[in-house]
A and B are shown apart, each in its own frame.
Chain A
Amino acid sequence: MTPASPAQAPLWLLQQLEPNSTAYNVAFHLDLDGPLDAAALERAWRALVERHDALRSTFLPGEDGPQLVTQPADATPLVTVTCSTEEAAALHQAQVALPFELSERPAVRAHLYRVAAERHTLGFVLHHAVFDGWSLNILLEELAAAYAHELGEGPALGRAPQSFVEHAERTHRDAASNLHDAELAYWTRTLAGAPAELDLPRDHRRRLDPRPGATLRARRGDLGPALEQLAASAELTPFMVLLTAYAVLLGRYTGADEVVVGTPMTTRMRKKHRAMMGLFLNTVALRIRLDGAPTFLELAARVKVAALDALRHHQVPFDQVVGALHPERRPGQNPLFSTMFILQNAPVPYTFPRLEVRYEDDAPPAAKFDLTLSIFVERGELQLALEHATDRLADSTAQGLLTAYQTLLASALEHPDVPVEDLAWLTPEDAATEAQRWVGARSEAEPTSLLAAVKAQVDLQPDATAVTAVDGAALTYRALWDASARMAAALRAHGVGPGHRVGVRVPRDAHLPCTLLAVLRSGAAYIPLDPEAPATRRQAALDDARAAALIVDHEVPGEAPEGTRVLLREALDAVPGGALGAPGLDAPAYVIYTSGSSGRPKGVEIGHRALASFNRAAAAQAGLTGDDVVLATTTVGFDISVLELLTPLTLGARVHVVPREVAVDGQRLGEALDAAGVTVFQTTPSGLRLLLGSGWSGAPALKVLVGGEALPRDLALEARDRVAELHNVYGPTETTVWVTGRRVERAELEDGPDVVPIGGVFADTKLLVLDGRRRPVPPGGRGELYVAGPQVAQGYLHRPELDAERFVPDPTGSGARMYATGDVVRARTDGTLDFLGRADQQVKIRGFRVEPAEIETALRRQPGVRDAVVTTEARPDGLELVAFVVGVGPLVQEDLRSGLRQVLPGYMVPAAIHVVPHIPRSPSGKVDKKQLPKVSAPPPSVETPAVAPNDRVEAQLLELWRALLGRRDVGLYDNFFDVGGHSMLAARLAAKVEKHLGQRLPVATFFQAQTVAEQAEVIRRGGAHLEWTALDPVKASGARVPVFYIGASDQARMLARHLPADQPMYALLVLGLPAEHSLELDVVARTFVDEITTLQPEGPYAVAGYCQDAKLALAVAKELQARGAKVARLIYIDVVWIPDLEKHARSQLKRNLVDMGPGYGLHWFDVRARHHVKRRSELAWDRLMLARQARVGAEPPTTTVHRERLRALRANMARYPELSFEGDVDVILSQELHREGAARYLAHMAQGNLRVFEIPGVHQRMFDAPEVLWLASRLARCLEDTFSAADT
């Protein structure tokens, strides 16, 4: 038994962690036609197995990492099977998909399938831990030669190669003796901070384990010669050229400016190694920068440098590199890189006498990485294989990548001197296809203009109600029409008419739609102005638009610029004289102002055709009819209000206008939806969250349109089943409200990305996803979204330079005008689009478009401010603006905020303004946002309705929290203990609640309800009925069989957070027992089992315990059995009971730990990180103390008493004589304990089936995020195995 090589160790360990994985199965088969001497082939195979001990070695876990054990040659037989062709194919496929158990038998399976007298298939499956691409050539060459020799037709194989097992041991020793310190330093320097993750498309949500995969293949006979030619002329190797093209591909798909690609490097330098089968590879991670617009050859030069540097430092095992870098690990993600590129060795010629041989690779149904591209070059032909993880990428997306790679490569070989950005990634034919992917249905007729459509409804149903408002006001269609006519006539009398623009700044009442119609009927275009916005801002808009008039309900000084007449709406009443205007489709309808990056808002001019076209398409998309009642909640300053205020009137539907106070109050909004018979509600994700957060239970007949910002999946899931239809709509102001809409269905959401995709293009509209050179992107590719069609705006008012930038000709077709949205999307192969963000700095705050630059400009104009930068922070409730300012002297945040409020609308005032000494800038002068201080939870802005308290109780509680914690940046959903709360504060909080809210709550309440929202709920229910007992319902809901966790409540809570949603969990707490309760384990177990059986009267049960508490878990499981109940599984977490403890002194364990540190296995965690724990467990301790205190009330026991009790309990645990359980046991061991050799001492712990699982991490941090993910996922699988087996 000798140690495996450093390259083998991680492959072995991965197989132990994921025993069902076939990711590292290497498989191929040979179809042999002709007369075959099976006996000779078997002898030939045996000769190979004799020669190459890699083919007959097994792995055993050892203290020093995995050990190789050489087995006799007959351990790896060639098995002959007689069967049909189909059976042979099926059997071989089954072998390919069968995982290896590396400790039981050699990782080689060879089968000869005899399907006819002269037709055979020779199938091989080997584990990569003992085999590589070069080995394949040796195997084929030597097998053919040995077979010929057995037939007496060739010489015997030459001298036997050296032992691979011995070679492995040598490399293990070399690595352990730290020969490679300097090389290691190179790698840590080169890879520090490199992005391990690639932002590749994600078609599926759930990450499966082991990862399923599929392999797509392509052959390109045309590219080989050009490849060799370019390589030779540019002093590159084909590898470098092919990898460069791959880096370009990854850059295009991810938008990243650097990529890290793994690649295997051979370690077969010496001739003797080249004769040996085995694993002679070391993985290296190549970090490739893509920035600076390099040409293909320039980029290839970077790749060359990286590849040669890697070669220069190739001797340090990859595992040591990983260990030295300590990359942050996430379950299921490979360290350092997530894609691999492999240039396979060219195959060698071999012949079997009188047999015609066809070789074929077989890919296992598994994926090693997100994406692995491997290429063979055989006689000038490129054979490409793209392995992709199918839990991430759909085949269609992977196919897009593979095709794009070939196109890019072909383009690069032809034009190596052009910037990589210019290289084509779609052939012209494919580009033409992709350009037609998002084209809406074409309407035959011109759309009916808004006014004509409303007039038609007036004629059709004059007495139907057109508009209602919360104050009870109502207008029929006829009244609406007449009133707007009188108002229009009055406007005309004031000289307003076609060609003019009229500001509208009136409250949200029943006459609002009428006012808008009146402006249009006068022939002018309206400028909607938000009454809540600062007057100066409104003035700027009116000035910019050179508005002829402004309609108001009351005058505000300083609002109207010179030349704009202020007209009181009430006074606009004249008898219509002649015919009013009937503006044509080409006339402007409205001008709406949005945030501008230059620091001043810009006016978007929408014409009647666009408006009419939108009305028609939106009604069709959402299925709006004359029977609908549409709630109008959105401010007129936001263009989506058109759908609420005007679109319904074209259909004969009713508009129900609610004032702003209702729109921003979740509870009142819910009431409005229920009361007014509303059937259609349009909102932003922020608004929807507000509504749901108020406890609104839903409306089964309601249609909800959500748009204006990215719709988070979680929110959509929460909303979906509460309403009849949920539509995700998308569209910039410049293309008239919405241009896409899709009904969102639960099934899609469940497997969908975090942000609900957009799609479902409106009639007559065409979308294009174009890359930086305005070419269509391939399936799965990312690009900017462009919109063409009748809904595209007429342009920006008086801003020709902006027009030229944003309204550009369609390069793929007619040259029609299209709008460059600046939204970066990914073209999903299911026909929808992933919204990825902005190409520029623009952000959406509660649906409103915000240019941070505009806020920065405003900030810099504040007195005392020298510099300012505005960024965003993601909060649970959406994005928040955060400003950093540099002052000339001291600055007061509140002054800045009130200053901003004078000039900016509320949504543009940053939630937090931080004064910093300087703004970090990159050498190019750009703000380096990564260097800005990390801000944790800034104070929620008072304008943020989503986090505003929903009622008095919440408001009061929130204030108490803030006072107590000494910080204002806490919200309704913050966890008390996460924002600085601790047990003493909880007790004081309880006292304050009693004083201010007049309600006495046990302190325990504050441990079980840990957010303001939860605590308010308890108070509303009339005080606590939460009782602290031994049984803590950590997570009571869920369809699965619950797991009873014996141990600390906070551990259980951490675990429960990451268990499947339907997995219930209960904790049993010793400190929940009355103070006088015995602490003998048997007695405690009896009490616990009483509690358990009260809750779940019948087995089978699952019981789990961690560390010392596992003894108690054992006692509980035994007690359950004693009562005749079935315990399906006892799960021990990181514990081992060594019967003869003295022999294994602490020093021994410590020594092992140190010795086995780096250099063995995979390195996820730093043992030093332990200090974390102490603080946390003390906190947990205090929590329990106080909980007890609250429960016993009058006589608070001292902490000392409790410490004593726990000490006594531990002593009882140690004395507890039982070690073994008469049933099935799973032991989940941390890597740390496992490395200490814990697995050796487990056999006595179960009399039933014992399973041992190793998970990454150290003992003390198993319950800390993110490590708890490993434990939770392992525990979930143990439970799942247990109960799915029990069912069958």
Chain B
Amino acid sequence: MTTPDGTPPEAHRRSSRASSAELRAIVKSRAQVEKFLRLGLAEALGISPDAVDPTRTFTTFGLDSIKAFALTGDLAEWLDRDLPATLFWDHPNIEALTGYVADVLGLAE
């Protein structure tokens, strides 16, 4: 998986937690979060990113708990931030999840 700016996720890892300001420098917008999720979901499910409807509930794509758990981990790593294990259940589609992440990080539109 690659990040929206094309670098591997490891490149963003910090030895200590990044401040919100730093994060905002890396993650510029909701659109990037959404793109990350879309690509991640597509890869996990083996489908085209274009086929991912952001309003469709994850389980209806056939996303199982192990994949959801792994995607949560990837997102946490990318954001360098702990996320709840039930993230994909609490915010069950891309739109909702993006909104949650944006709220938490205080991202711009």
Measured CB to CB, the residues of A under 8 A from B are 228, 231-233, 235-239, 266, 268-271, 273-274, 307-308, 311-312, 314-315, 345
Q: Bound state CA distance, A315 and B82, in angstroms?
A: 13
CB-defined contacts of A315 to chain B, threshold 8 Å: 85
In the complex formed, the residue of A with least CB distance to B65 is A237
CA distance A268 to B86 in the complex (A): 14
Bound together, the chains give a CA A270 to CA B76 distance in angstroms of 8
Closest to B83 in A: A269
B residues near A314, Cβ cutoff 8 Å: 85
Q: Which residues of B contact A345 (CB under 8 A)?
A: 66
Task: Offer 29 A-B interface pairs, CB within 8 angstroms, sorted by A.
Answer: A232-B59, A232-B62, A233-B60, A236-B59, A237-B63, A237-B65, A238-B64, A239-B64, A266-B66, A268-B69, A269-B69, A269-B70, A269-B76, A270-B73, A270-B77, A271-B9, A271-B74, A271-B77, A273-B73, A274-B70, A274-B73, A307-B65, A308-B86, A308-B89, A311-B65, A312-B84, A312-B86, A315-B85, A345-B66
Main secondary structure of the interface of B (DSSP, over half): helix
Check if B3 is an interface residue, CB within 8 A of chain A: no
B57 at interface, CB cutoff 8 A: yes
| In contact, A228 and B62 (Cβ under 8 angstroms) | yes
Distance between Cα atoms of A404 and B82 in the complex (Å): 43
Chain A nearest CB from B29 CB (Å) reads 24
Known contacts A268-B70, A269-B70; decide if A235 and B77 are in contact (CB<8 Å): no
Residues from chain A with a CB closer than 8 A to the CB of B85 are: 269, 311-312, 314-315
Alpha-carbon distance between A1013 and B77 when the two chains are bound, in angstroms:
75
Interface assignment of B98: CB less than 8 Å from any CB of chain A? no
Q: How far is the CA of A236 from the CA of B62 in the complex (A)?
A: 9
| Cβ 8 A contact of A235, one of B66, B74, B92 | B92
Scoring A233, A271, A307 by chain B CB atoms within 10 A of each residue's CB, the highest score goes to A271
Which residue of B is nearest A233, CB measured? B60
A232 to B61, CA, bound (A): 7
Q: Is the interface of A mostly helix, strand, loop or mixed?
A: helix
Are B65 and A232 neighbours in the complex by a CB distance under 8 Å?
A: no
Question: A232: which B residues are within 8 A, CB to CB?
Answer: 59-62
- In addition to A232-B62, A266-B69, 17 A-B residue pairs with Cβ atoms within 8 Å of each other are A228-B62, A232-B59, A233-B60, A235-B57, A235-B92, A237-B64, A238-B64, A239-B64, A266-B66, A269-B69, A269-B72, A269-B85, A270-B77, A271-B70, A307-B65, A311-B86, A311-B89
Whether the Cβ atoms of B59 and A237 lie closer than 8 Å is: yes
Query: Residue-by-residue, is B32-64 near A (CB-CB < 8 Å gives 1, otherwise 0)?
Result: 000000000000000000000000010111111
Q: Which chain A residues border B64 with CB–CB below 8 Å?
A: 237-239
In the bound complex, CA of A239 to CA of B70 (Å):
16
Min CB distance, A852 to chain B, in Å?
Answer: 48
Residue among B62, B76, B86 making CB contact with A231, cutoff 8 Å = B62
Q: Which residues of B contact A266 (CB under 8 A)?
A: 66, 69
Q: B76 contacts which chain A residues (CB < 8 A)?
A: 269-270
A231 touches B59 (CB 8 A): yes
Which B residues are CB-close (under 8 A) to A239? 64-65
| A233 CB contacts on chain B under 8 angstroms | 60
Which residues of the other chain, A, contact B73 by a CB distance below 8 angstroms?
Answer: 268-271, 273-274
- In Å, the complex CA distance between A945 and B66 comes to 64
CA–CA, A274 to B66, complex, Å? 11
Report B-chain residues with C-beta under 8 Å of the C-beta of A268: 69-70, 73
- Which residue of chain A has its CB nearest to the CB of B85? A311
Complex Cα–Cα for A228 and B60 (A)? 9
* Cα of A235 to Cα of B61 in the assembled complex, Å: 10
Most chain B Cβ neighbours within 10 Å, of A235, A266, A269, A308 = A269
Chain B residues with CB under 8 A of A228: 62
The CA of A238 and the CA of B61, in the complex, are separated in Å by 12
A71 CB to closest chain B CB, in angstroms? Answer: 30
| Nearest CB in chain A to that of B71: its residue | A269
Residues of B contacting A270 with CB < 8 Å?
73, 76-77
When chains A and B are docked, how far (Å) is the Cα of A269 from the Cα of B78? 13
CB distance from A423 to the nearest CB of B (A): 22
Alpha-carbon separation in the docked complex, A266 to B66 (Å): 8
- Give Cα distance in the complex from A269 to B69, angstroms: 6
Given known A-B contacts A274-B70, A307-B65, A235 and B59 have beta carbons under 8 A apart? yes
In the complex, A232 Cα to B57 Cα: how many Å?
A: 9
Select from chain B the residue with minimum beta-carbon distance to A234.
B59
Complex Cα distance, B41 from A498, in Å, reads: 85
List the 10 shortest-distance A-B pairs measured between CB atoms, nearest first.
A269-B73, A270-B73, A235-B59, A232-B60, A237-B64, A311-B85, A237-B65, A312-B86, A311-B86, A308-B89
User: Within 8 Å CB of A273, what residues of B?
Assistant: 73
CA gap between A315 and B89 in the complex, in Å? 17
The answer to whether A235 touches B60, judged by C-beta atoms less than 8 angstroms apart, is yes
Q: Which residues of A contact B9 (CB under 8 A)?
A: 271
Closest to B60 in A: A232
Bound Cα distance from A312 to B92, whole angstroms: 15
Q: Give the distance to chain B from A229, nearest Cβ to Cβ, in Å.
A: 9
Bound: A308/B66 CA distance, A: 12
A77 to B102, CA, bound (A): 51
| A59: min CB distance to chain B, Å | 28
Q: Name which residue of chain A comes closest to B57, CB basis.
A: A235
Q: Which one of B63, B64, B73, B76 has the highest number of Cβ atoms from chain A below 10 Å of its Cβ?
A: B64
Distance between Cα atoms of A237 and B42 in the complex (Å)? 18
B-chain residues with CB within 8 Å of residue A312 when the two chains form the complex: 84-86
Contacts of B63 in A (CB 8 A): 237
Q: Tell me the complex Cα distance, A270–B70, Å.
A: 7
Output the nearest chain B residue to A312 by Cβ-Cβ distance. B86
A270 to B69: give the CA distance in the assembly, Å. 9
Residues of B with C-beta under 8 A to A271: 9, 70, 73-74, 77
B82 — nearest CB in chain A belongs to which residue? A269
A1029 to B105, CA, bound (A): 82
Quote the shortest CB–CB distance from A674 to chain B (angstroms). Answer: 71
CA distance A269 to B65 in the complex (A): 11
- Expressed in whole angstroms, the minimum distance between the Cβ of A283 and any Cβ of chain B is 15
A307 to B68 CA separation, bound complex (whole angstroms): 14
Across the two chains, which residue of chain B brings its CB closest to A314?
B85
